[in-house]
Amino acid sequence: MSSSSPPATGRIYRQVDEQQVILRLPPALASRVQLQLDDKLASGQQVLELPYQIEFIDNRHALFRYDGKTYAAVLLDLPCVVESSTLGETKKLYKNLDVHQVLQVESTPIEEAVEKTETDFCLEDGITHVTKGAKTRFRKDLPEYSAERVSYVEGLMKNVFELKYNLVKGESAKKTDALMEFLEEEEWEDATKEPTTGSLEQEESQSFQHSPEGKVNTEDSPMKMTQTEDVPVNSVFEQELSAKAFENVEAAKVSSVNVSEERIKSEPLLEAPQDNMNSPTPPQLEQQKVLEAQRKAERFKLEKSMEAQQSKIRQMEEKIRDVSNRALKQRMQQHLDDMNQELARLREALEKHDKESHM
């Protein structure tokens, strides 16, 4: 029978041809195994027999048998590749293979194989000291959110911003601007409109009709009766009476018109109030708004410059307190004086700006 085929025991044996794996044992177990190997090497054995056996259950789990006891083992991946070398006859190192796995044995023996539930089979640290924490230092962390979710959220935010822009800067803003322009034009027309002679005559006639002296009650007058009601006049006396009443009404109308004309001639025309004539036009209002915005921006700029200068002065004062060299301290003091002068200049500019804005 050939010894190359594994025994039919139902177990999976892993053949490690031209592969190197680091065997990591617990300290107590490693010292015992190392002593046995040293004794066999010292005895001069040509073929070194290992005092332990390794049996793989699957690709990641194995059983380590030594001195009649069984230990559980796990095959772990290194975070970085380690090269193994051989020493030649001329004391030169020759690369043999790359090592990228470690078979780690547990310290407590077990009686039977235990099912393992590990999901992460990669070590955090490498073999050497410089590769400690190589997995976390040289590999990028997985993003918290996937690229699809990020793009979806960005699309939602873009839609929200566009909707907000349309609500604020769209139709409502246009309607508001048009309403403001219409109101400004109405105010300007009312301010610049002058009273005419026709309107004065109408006002005078209305005031004369409603005044107690010149009041003419046309509701009960015979003229209105003749205009509104078609009453037949049979007698001559009634005809004469209606004719006299008509003449009296016409005379009253003529007298009221003459009185209104005399009052218009005697009194000067009403002049438009000076306040309305001097009211600013819409372009002037817009220019005033622009100038006011420019003044606010200049004031804000001066205030920020003063704050920055004061911060620099405080930092320079702290540095001067820490300096012990006399010459260096003197130069720094001169620089501090220049900074104080600049701060005073900014204050003067701010005061001047405030005075001009209040004028």
Q: What percent of the chain has pLDDT over 70?
A: 58
Give the tens place of pLDDT for each residue, 63-83.
Answer: 998 888 899 999 998 888 888
Give the model's pLDDT for residue 186.
59
What's the pLDDT score for residue 305? 87
pLDDT for 359 beyond 80:
no
- Residue 122 gets which letter from DSSP? B
In this prediction the pTM is 0.35
pLDDT digits (tens, 9 = 90+) for 175-194: 555 555 555 565 555 555 55
* 216 pLDDT above the threshold of 50: no
pLDDT of residue 16: 45
Residue, of 174 and 33, whose pLDDT is higher: 33
Least confident of 19-33, 91-105, 243-257: 243-257
Query: Which pLDDT score is estimated for 25?
Result: 92
Mean pLDDT of 241-269: 55
More confident site: 267 or 46: 46
- Residue spans of beta strands (DSSP E) within the chain: 22-24, 52-56, 61-66, 69-87, 93-110
Separation CA 207–CA 250 (nearest Å): 19
Residues 307/350, Cβ–Cβ less than 8 Å: no
101 or 290: which leads in pLDDT: 101
Distance CA 303, CA 169 (A): 31
CB 85 within 8 A of CB 93: yes
pLDDT-based confidence at 231, cuts 50/70/90? very low
pLDDT band at residue 223 using 50, 70 and 90 as cut-offs: very low
Q: pLDDT above 90 covers what percent of the chain?
A: 3
Q: Which helix (H) or strand (E) holds 82?
A: strand 69-87
